[in-house]
Amino acid sequence: MDLRMPGKDGIEATKIISKQFPQIKVLILSMYEDERFVYHLMENGANGYLLKNAEPNEIRRAIVEVFEKGYYLNNFVNRILLKKSHSRQKVIPSLNSEITLSDKEKDVLRFICMEFTAQEIAQKMEISPRTVEAIKDRLMERFGSKNTAGLVFFAVKNNLID
């Protein structure tokens, strides 16, 4: 997805696609290095963000990872997401709102954040890939994430992984 397009821009198109067709993965390829674009697009359904000056190998890797894992996070995007999560107003924790995860949920989330595929996670945990996907879907729904990148972002932001 490019951001500048005739008719609808890439920002609106990404929002529409991720909402109406969540099975479609959106990889942004843009000349905009502005943190606001990256953060906004990742929060609104983009599965990855690359700059147009990215090397062909990185573009290929991003496409493959979005296809296989559902997201692609490079150092540029990670830095922005972490910066934004740390710059938000800190919330005073409450014992009533503590996030509790089962051991299986913790393991699946940890493996997702380590960039393992559902098949690899299933093999490591000795469960089916469908069970892995069901746990991932349940976590996404619980945390209000629209995609795997959002799930990883939520896990990092809320210190759910080591």
Query: Shortest CA distance to 13 belongs to which of 47, 45, 49?
Result: 45
What mean pLDDT is predicted for residues 5-21? 88
Q: What is the mean pLDDT of the chain?
A: 84
pLDDT > 80? residue 162: no
Q: Which residue has the higher pLDDT, 144 or 54?
A: 54
Structural domains in the chain, CATH included, are 10-87 (3.40.50.2300), 95-157 (1.10.10.10)
pLDDT tens-digit map of 64-74: 999 998 889 88
Residue 17 bridge partners (DSSP): none
Asked if the model's pLDDT at residue 155 lies above 80, the reply is yes
Residues in a beta bridge with 48: 27, 72
What confidence score (pLDDT) does residue 104 get?
Answer: 93
Q: Does the pLDDT value for residue 90 go beyond 50?
A: no
Summarize pLDDT for 119-139 with one digit per residue, the tens.
999 999 999 999 999 999 889
Share of residues in the chain with pLDDT > 90 (%): 38
Q: Binning pLDDT at 50, 70 and 90, where does residue 44 land?
A: confident
Average pLDDT of span 78-106:
66
User: Quick check: helix, strand or coil at residue 49?
Assistant: strand
SS3 7: coil
